[in-house]
Amino acid sequence: MPLVLHVDSDRWREHLRSTWNPDIVPVAKGNGYGFGNQRLLAEARALGARTVAVGTYFEVPPDPREDIVVLSPWRPFLDIPQSKNVIHTVSRLADLVSIPAGSRVLIEVMTSMRRHGIGARELRHTMLLNALDRIRFEGWSLHFPMGAGGTSANVREAAELGKAAQAVRRGPLWVSHVPAQKLTDIGENVKLRMGTGLWLGDRGALTVRATVLDVHSVRRGERVGYRQRRVSGDGHVLVVSGGTAHGVGLEAPTAAASVRQRAIAMAKGSLDAAGMALSPFTIEGKQRWFAEPPHMQASMLFLPSSVAPPAVGDEVGVDVRYTTTTFDKVSMD
């Protein structure tokens, strides 16, 4: 009785085929965008990808057949897989000097992300110029921010930084978070690392369903759950598959930028403080309230008496973030 990601496999793979081209490097990292990294590696191979990007060295598959770009920067204290197929990302001058000679290296240049990278003013530093002759240089890496209004700015910044880097040593530009159709505006020999847009670009091909595990009738004021909260009215408590172990009900700092988004976040916070939280589970077209915070493997929901409850064994819809959810099963329908 699991939490299941249902995939319309024909529609999903048609999106993959229509999106991918040889300039796109598929990204398989974290929870594999809900699919799992092993599945994504297999799908990338089926597309014809000869290079795949992963997030960390821990995600490098054993004996990879394709080239594997590790997006997290190389550090001398890390346990590094010994494979000729691994391409390292180096983001500091000190590490560029320390990395073993002959290593395959992408040099990351600092962008407006301000996360990792060698500053544009350091591109002609003697340490960098000398290191270029002792490594196997694979190109320059540029990682840009996401969000509304960032697309055109990212393309302009990529073109400017790419030009500065290419003046030092010519090589491919590996970029993230720019539109595929804008690569020629950045320059020649540009590779686009793509994860969300590739694997999750057609949400209509994906459906998440949770199993109803139990249904109990309750009266207003009765206590339920671990925390013995009182229910707000007559109705039913539903126990459904999907809890914190799956990533359901976990919170992260809000990404609100506009006044409206901040107002919504404040209103939601006030409800949470009052012990009321909408769940991601949908019954008869509406998100339903948690009866209490979700448990590790399951969640308890309150359904008012005006709504006929589903039966044990039925499935209900769930609206989740694919990049933070671990499904019990991925069903390729």
The pLDDT tens digits of the residues spanning 38-67 come to 999 999 999 999 999 999 999 999 989 999
**The pLDDT of residue 267:** 34
**Backbone dihedral angles phi then psi of residue 219, each to the nearest 5 degrees:** -110, 155
The pLDDT tens digits of the residues spanning 79-138 come to 888 899 999 999 999 999 999 999 999 999 999 999 999 999 999 999 999 999 999 999
Q: Is 302 helix (H, G, I), strand (E, B) or coil?
A: strand
Q: Which fold has domain 50-201?
A: TIM Barrel (3.20.20)
**C-alpha angle with apex 81: 125 to 107, nearest 5 degrees?**
20
Q: Is 3 helix (H, G, I), strand (E, B) or coil?
A: strand
The yes-or-no verdict on residue 148 having pLDDT over 70 is no
The mean of the pLDDT values for the chain is: 92
The yes-or-no verdict on residue 294 having pLDDT over 90 is yes
The yes-or-no verdict on residue 251 having pLDDT over 90 is no
Q: Are 179 and 197 in contact (CB under 8 A)?
A: no
Mean pLDDT within 171-188: 95
**The pLDDT of residue 151:** 84
**The pLDDT of residue 101:** 96
Q: How far apart are CA 41 and CA 45, in angstroms?
A: 6
**Closest by CA position to 278, among listed 258, 252, 249:** 249
Residue extents of the structural domains in the chain: 50-201, 205-332
The encoded tokens of residue 201 equal 């670009």
- Integer-rounded Cα Rg, in Å, for the chain is 24
Q: Is 263 helix (H, G, I), strand (E, B) or coil?
A: helix
Domain formed by 205-332, architecture: Beta Barrel (2.40)
Confidence of residue 255 (pLDDT cuts 50, 70, 90): low
Say what percent of the chain tops pLDDT 90: 87
The encoded tokens of residue 226 equal 């671990």
Mean pLDDT within 162-190: 96
Tokens 């109990």 locate to: 216
DSSP secondary structure letters along 100-122: PTT-EEEEEB--TT-SS-B-GGG
Tokens 């699991």 locate to: 2
